[in-house]
Amino acid sequence: MLRVENVSTFYGEIRALNLVSLTVAPGEIVTLIGANGAGKTTLLNTICGMLKARHGAIYFEDKPISDLGPEAIVGLGVSHVPERRQVFATMSVLDNLLLGAYQRRDPQIGQDIAQAFELFPILKQRQKQAAGTLSGGEQQMLAIARGLMSRPKLLMLDEPSVGLAPLLVCEILEIVADLRRRGTTILLIEQNARAALKVADRGYVLENGHIVLSGTAQELTADEGVQKAYLGKGNRLQLARCRADVERYVCLDDPAVNSCALCPNRNGGNS
Ligand SMILES: Nc1ncnc2c1ncn2[C@@H]1O[C@H](COP(=O)(O)OP(=O)(O)OP(=O)(O)O)[C@@H](O)[C@H]1O
Ligand SMILES: [Mg+2]
């Protein structure tokens, strides 16, 4: 579905991406892991047309998109949820969602708003409220919901869990898994590698603008270098453990679980 071939992107004379190649197949969740400054955001911005690659080529469904602008790329079915949940703070939740559909002229926009509210019930409750008054997690949900309003085939998420409480990290990643079940292909950037590898099929590791490793989520999780660099103690912080069973991670183990009698935060819990 997406093919990035030998892409190099520069800021002036500084090379932020160096001959990066990756692919995403239809129906996959692919994650891109890397430290601060590795070039993750630069790669997404290059794919979505906000930055131009100096070398290399990008194809979406076999069409070259490297020379297209952001609007044309959205029109082809690629949606980008940028870093730091950039919602329009003074606009209402509903207007933010409508803005996500600005390129569409079909009559199904209302239906998709209803679907967004079904996916994120809190947004329905808050639909008339200014987006800037939402909590961090709610703003992230709004940013994702807005990204979905263009009916993308490929959704690219730039650190959707950053700054969120552990349980919300779980919730956002469950939503990612759910979106895939509903047919959206996903390219997910995460600093929380452990959490990302739980939901992803495959992943790439980006260091200083180079892809240094790629493999299935299982292979990457088992890789000693990945464990040392990205799955160490510091990276565990954001993970939520099931309060009833300290060895289990809440819901991340099985994204299909919607309710759990053990979990006070899900249907079935009493406390
Ligand atoms: N607008 C810019 N001008 C100049 N250099 C930039 C610009 N944006 C990013 N860079 C540099 O490009 C490199 C890659 O940055 P990028 O934002 O893509 O990293 P990242 O992997 O997304 O990091 P983070 O995890 O902190 O979001 C960094 O060295 C960064 O300093
Ligand atoms: Mg970034």
Residue 137 shares a structural domain with residue 39: yes
Name the residue type at position 83: E
pLDDT for res 199: 92
Helix (H, G, I), strand (E, B) or coil at 82: coil
Pair 55, 74 in one domain: yes
Q: Do 216 and 265 share a structural domain?
A: no
Ligand closest to 12 (CA) is 1
Please check whether residue 7 is in contact with residue 164, taking contact to mean a CB–CB distance below 8 angstroms.
no
Euclidean distance between CA atoms 242 and 250, whole angstroms = 4
Inform me whether the pLDDT recorded for 135 exceeds 90. no
pLDDT in tens, 248-258: 444 443 444 45
- Which of 8, 9, 10, 11 has most ligand 1 atoms within 8 Å of CB, for mutation? 11
Residues 228 and 246 in one domain: no
89: three-class secondary structure by DSSP: coil
pLDDT bin (cut points 50, 70, 90) of residue 83 is confident
Same domain, 8 and 119: yes
Taking only the tens place, the pLDDT of each residue in 30-44 is 999 988 889 999 999
Give me the residue label for tokens 């759990």. Answer: 260
What is the pLDDT at residue 261? 53
Q: Which domain holds residue 252?
A: 241-271
CATH number reported for the structural domain that contains residue 93 in this entry:
3.40.50.300
Question: What is the number of domains present in the chain?
Answer: 2
Which DSSP symbol is given to 240?
P
Model confidence pLDDT, tens digit, residues 107-132? 888 999 999 999 889 999 999 999 99
Query: How deeply is 31 buried, as exposed, middle or buried, from its count of CB atoms within 10 A (0-12, 13-18, 19+)?
Result: buried
Same domain, 111 and 130: yes
Residue 194 confidence (pLDDT) above 90: no
Higher pLDDT, 254 or 162: 162
Taking the centre of ligand 1 as the mean of its atom positions, its distance from the CA of residue 103, in whole angstroms, is 29
Same domain, 150 and 252: no
